Chain A
């Protein structure tokens, strides 16, 4: 009875001693999580999980709302910076594509210049184009360009040089009505003259002065004839339609091999190697035999 009374009187001290003793024993064991701790830890994790999730959500929402208010200027600057970078990137992409295409074209030109040994070619860049009928190139007389030189690409005939300055020259193309080129049908060598239409609407030029009896069919390849300034057999275009005019001549619509609207670089043919006919020279003519007047007397000429 006295013991229980004494215990009751000193209960706080006893509780303290028990707690201290248990704590010291637990710490002396050095275990951070025993079987009790593990169970309690699981319970703590389970109970604290909703709190942690709620706190994260509230923090996120609060950060978003305060960001709307306080970070407005920063966001605007960031958006402007991003927009500027996007514009730069797009410009860069466009420039890159342009360079790729130019690279592709120049490679084709180099291949053409290497493989085509018949001509001495001068590469030129188109610096101005007037409706595709007249183009101005960036080389002139200082680089050996002269009037009536032929302008070509690796695909075919472009036109003729008409005006030459020191640093530039003008080429009339197959869109121009003033451009006339001696041509022939590659299949049967039927001759004609290809002339620019001069029209902004029609993409075709016409091949005129075809004999009405000659055979010309749509799809025939039209090439430069030996009489033209251009190298013989160089492609001009393709026949798309034949027109019977009811006269001695007929004409044909020819789709040019080169679209003058799409020209960026061209070649000027400075010199053409002589053809085999030219190298062989003219065929020897019949010996000229002059018949002198017979001045013998009539008796002598008629005598047996």
Chain B
């Protein structure tokens, strides 16, 4: 119960940060995706179920806060969380650069997926331009802050690290 509560607090707080204070570090209109980072963190260290539920909660928050279609962020986060969790099982290294590389790749895939869904909804948008002008720099920015965010998350969740281990579901 305690770990679930802590998990929920962390997810909601991260989503809050993403939708409010993160504007302060916006560079050239590009923001790091903290919620996605959280999903990837749980995907890499706690399994796909935790990652998907993180994506569900965080994505729900982002959809509501950003007035997007309900399910848009959720779908992307859940898919990416599942995929990265499956991928992370095969990793044989803990090197931070590798994790940052995975985050970069996952961010690009996530952004492309998000833009693709958006393109289906509004075909008159320029999907390629959005990918190159927003998704790619955003993915790079997200990958850049990965070590810091992962370090903070590991510190914040260290008391329940053992409980989180093993892919236990909320």
Question: What residues of chain A have their CB less than 8 Å away from a CB belonging to chain B?
Answer: 11-12, 15-16, 19-20, 22-27, 30-34, 36-37, 40-41, 44, 47-48, 51-52, 55, 59
The 6 nearest A-B residue pairs measured at CB:
A23-B71, A26-B71, A23-B75, A19-B78, A26-B70, A12-B48
Given A11-B49, A19-B56, A48-B20, A26 and B61 contact (CB-CB distance below 8 Å): no
The smallest C-beta distance from B52 to any residue of chain A, in angstroms, reads: 6
Q: Is there an interface contact between B82 and A41, defined as CB atoms closer than 8 Å?
A: no
How far is A23 from B117 in the complex, measured between Cα atoms in Å? 12
Which residue from chain B places its CB closest to the CB of A56 in the assembled complex?
A: B20
How far is A25 from B85 in the complex, measured between Cα atoms in Å? 25
Q: Which B residues between 24 and 73 are near A, CB-CB below 8 angstroms?
A: 24, 47-49, 52-53, 55-56, 60-61, 63-65, 67-72
Given A32-B67, A32-B68, A32-B70, A16 and B82 contact (CB-CB distance below 8 Å): yes
Q: Is there an interface contact between B69 and A26, defined as CB atoms closer than 8 Å?
A: yes
- Further pairs besides A16-B52, A23-B74: 15, Cβ < 8 Å: A12-B49, A12-B52, A12-B82, A15-B49, A19-B52, A23-B72, A23-B78, A26-B71, A27-B70, A27-B121, A31-B70, A32-B68, A32-B69, A33-B67, A37-B70
B residues in contact with A44, CB < 8 Å: 19, 61, 64-65
- B contacts with A: majority SS: helix
B residues in contact with A24, CB < 8 Å: 71, 75
A residues in contact with B53, CB < 8 Å: 15
Q: Is there an interface contact between B64 and A20, defined as CB atoms closer than 8 Å?
A: no
Q: Is there an interface contact between B75 and A20, defined as CB atoms closer than 8 Å?
A: yes
Q: Which B residues between 59 and 118 are near A, CB-CB below 8 angstroms?
A: 60-61, 63-65, 67-72, 74-75, 78-79, 82, 85, 117
User: Interface residue count for B (Cβ, 8 Å)?
Assistant: 33
- Contacts across chains A and B counted by CB atoms under 8 Å: 83
B residues in contact with A55, CB < 8 Å: 20-21, 24
Question: What residues of chain B have their CB less than 8 Å away from a CB belonging to chain A?
Answer: 12, 16, 19-21, 24, 47-49, 52-53, 55-56, 60-61, 63-65, 67-72, 74-75, 78-79, 82, 85, 117, 121, 169
A residues in contact with B117, CB < 8 Å: 27
B residues in contact with A31, CB < 8 Å: 69-70
How far is A40 from B64 in the complex, measured between Cα atoms in Å? 7
10 A-B pairs whose Cβ atoms sit less than 8 Å apart in the complex: A11-B169, A19-B52, A23-B72, A24-B71, A27-B72, A32-B70, A34-B70, A44-B65, A47-B16, A51-B16
How far is A281 from B154 in the complex, measured between Cα atoms in Å? 126
Q: B12 touches which one: A12, A16, A41, A47 (CB < 8 A)?
A: A47
A residues in contact with B20, CB < 8 Å: 48, 51-52, 55
The smallest C-beta distance from B141 to any residue of chain A, in angstroms, reads: 20
Which residue from chain B places its CB closest to the CB of A22 in the assembled complex?
A: B71
Q: B52 touches which one: A15, A32, A33, A47 (CB < 8 A)?
A: A15
Q: Is there an interface contact between A37 and B48, defined as CB atoms closer than 8 Å?
A: no
B residues in contact with A41, CB < 8 Å: 64-65
Among B24, B72, B75, B169, the most chain A Cβ lie within 10 Å of the Cβ of: B75
How far is A122 from B60 in the complex, measured between Cα atoms in Å? 93
Q: A36 touches which one: B52, B61, B70, B79 (CB < 8 A)?
A: B70
B residues in contact with A11, CB < 8 Å: 49, 169
How far is A25 from B72 in the complex, measured between Cα atoms in Å? 11
